[in-house]
Structure 1
Amino acid sequence: MPSNQQRREVAKNKLEQQLKARAKQDRRRNILTIVGAVVAALVVAAAAVGVYKLTAGSQNNDSTQASNDTNDESFDEIFDSQFEEPDFAALPESRSEPLPPTVDCEYFDSRMPGVRDVDRPQGENVPTEGTVAVTIDMSEGPVELTLDRAKSPCTVNSFVSLAEQGYFNDTECHRLVTGGIFVLQCGDPSATGTGGPGYEFHDEFPHDQFDSPRSEMTIYPRGTVAMANAGESTNGSQFFLVYDDSPLPPLYNVFGEISDDGLNVIDAIAEGGAPGNEGVPNIPADIKTITVGG
């Protein structure tokens, strides 16, 4: 009959094996997720309007692959060996050289008509200095943003113009992604992922800080506010709020930050999840109004 000491040793060994197996599976899943995100992000230009749908889709496929290959010995050998996860560059904190005090912004016809009637922003002598305080009054609580003219002045100018015209009022954030990248996407009154204001504008920061932005991978940090697009210079009204660090190419105009309290609101929405880790959030994320200024 085994002694208490022997039983404890058996239990300890069993626990260690379980922990090792769990760590191996987690490591495998993380590696596959990252690789899938990298590959998908490099072909992001082929995606429809929205934030890199291929990235989130690859996350789902990779998770399935990982679970199906649990007992594959050759697969296990790969993940038992030392594997360095890709080291993505951090986004620049600011421009390498500041812009002149004002710039001219071009707002040109989009390929699709606007889903709401709005005037185009005034594009001459747009300021490049200072910040703009914005509050998104959402169904789950207020989300305060600080918009940065120095990074993407034409983006800030457009966002403020749309907000002041009530373009975003009574709309829903139609897309939550909870795997691979971590974003809540808003700004489309049609809630289809294809809607916009009827005009588009050029890419700004950080796109213009890289020689080959489409071949780079960076981390969009938690708290970032950036524009969604459907390819080069297709920015319109859709934007996304990053609630956890997300690997992406530097192709999406960064134009502000989310306050800590605002992130708490987004976190609560994200915790509710979305069908299949990507889609309409289970907890409604409706925008009542967006107010500019204190």
Structure 2
Amino acid sequence: MTDKDPAPAPEADSTAASGEGRSGFVTFVGRPNVGKSTLTNALVGEKVAITSDKPQTTRRAIRGILNRPGGQLVIVDTPGLHKPRTLLGQRLNDLVEQVLGDVDVIGFCVPATEKVGPGDRRIAESLSGYGRAKKVAIVTKTDAATRDEITERLIEVDQLREDWAAVIPLSAFTRDQLEVLSDELLALMPEGPALYPEGVVTDESTEDRIAEIIREAALDGVRDELPHSIAVVVQEVEAREDSDLTDVYADIVVERDSQKGIIIGHKGSRLRDVGARARAQIEPLLGTKVFLKLHVRIAKEWQRDPKQLGRLGF
């Protein structure tokens, strides 16, 4: 099932970031495409992480900030744990390991629409290596499941570990049970002041958010290995002095000539479509009209090349 953008959240209580309460870090783990990024966006109430039905869409630790009356949650969206086949894959797994060792709560996600399998069991067992963090089990995508499926999944998940602080079914798309989850997560956080100022929803730079929006648009409709081969580098974001237009120049990076042709499409048709869909999300982010210029370039086997990975920010 393709992750969908959730409905907008109600405005956060303005007292959350000013009063003394609880605050801390939570991350969601699970197999690729179980809805972790969609859940992050739903809790924050704004799109801070891109979503796709392609595995390993998330490539960085993206922090979304949720203010609640009792304090502040910092949600760290990470790549899905997977068996790495490239140096990039290994670095993404290393990133997840680092985050898991630092957070206060780990939310283990399983979709209500799929039976618990060996991959789920392996990830659930691995959480014993992070004794510092409290563990919460989350059954996602309940809007797409039957009541019997949800019940079956709750039983399966509950049996995976004995130390769940809570087991919660929810839908990020319909927002059902989201407040239950956020209240439970906040109650598990240590006491302390807010970690980010009021009004901040993410610590991602504007350039990084633009790059991810473009990559999300480029991922739509591609098949096979191409999703893993796509990276985006924003070269320039500059407001024009003589108008309310902002110029955005970005490179879409692929590994082979054949992939470049797929991204560009017949007479540039697909690249124009990618630009149009990306621009529609970049303009609200910047608050201006945008001139978006995309260039497709090749960095051969960049997923396996340490120097190329470094240049691309991995």
| TM norm structure 2 | 0.22
Instruction: Return the index of the structure with the highest Cα Rg.
Output: 1
Pick 1 or 2: higher relative contact order, CA cutoff 8 A, min separation 6. Answer: 1
| TM norm structure 1 | 0.24
